[in-house]
Structure 1
Amino acid sequence: MMNKVVGAVRAAWWWTGSLMGDHDYSRYVEHLRRNHPDAEVPTEREYWKARYADADANPGARCC
């Protein structure tokens, strides 16, 4: 019973993290290493700074 509760909490934590973008940097690094092995991998801080700057410059489907 406890294993099911722990599993459900972990799944909810993972889902929330995915929704908030917590896994985006690690997926980006995997993509760079797989598809662009010679490219320099930015730090996590550099990644988020560039991502937010791009979102501000290109609002796309955002409401605000």
Structure 2
Amino acid sequence: MGAVAGGFRGFATYFKGIMGADAYTKYLEHHTATGHADAPMTEREFWRDRTDRQDSNPQGRCC
């Protein structure tokens, strides 16, 4: 049963990556790794900024 649960968690992580749900986590990791002096955006600010950038600069995407 543990292997099935582990496989499901792996698939869920993979699927979140494809859908972009892990973008904020990646942003925080990048923000920390590059040594920014200012505080990172909150999750709400991040998603608002990302949506605004996508709306102002549309690229090929499914939706």
TM-score between the two structures when normalised by the length of structure 1: 0.82
How many pairs does the alignment contain? 63
Give the whole-Å Cα distance in 1 for the aligned partners of 2:16 and 2:59.
23
Paired-residue identity, %: 35
Aligned to 1:46: 45
Q: Which amino acid aligns with 1:43?
A: T
Cα distance, 1:36 vs. partner? Answer: 3.5
Larger radius of gyration: 1
1:59 is paired with a residue whose SS is: coil
Q: Cα 1:63–1:19, aligned 2, differ >3 Å: closer, same or farther?
A: closer
Give the whole-Å Cα distance in 2 for the aligned partners of 1:57 and 1:37.
26
Establish whether residue 10 from structure 1 lines up as the match of residue 9 from structure 2.
yes
Unmatched tracts of structure 2, length 5 or more: none
Unmatched tracts of structure 1, length 5 or more: none
Deviates more, 1:33-42 or 1:23-32: 33-42
Q: Which amino acid aligns with 1:3?
A: G
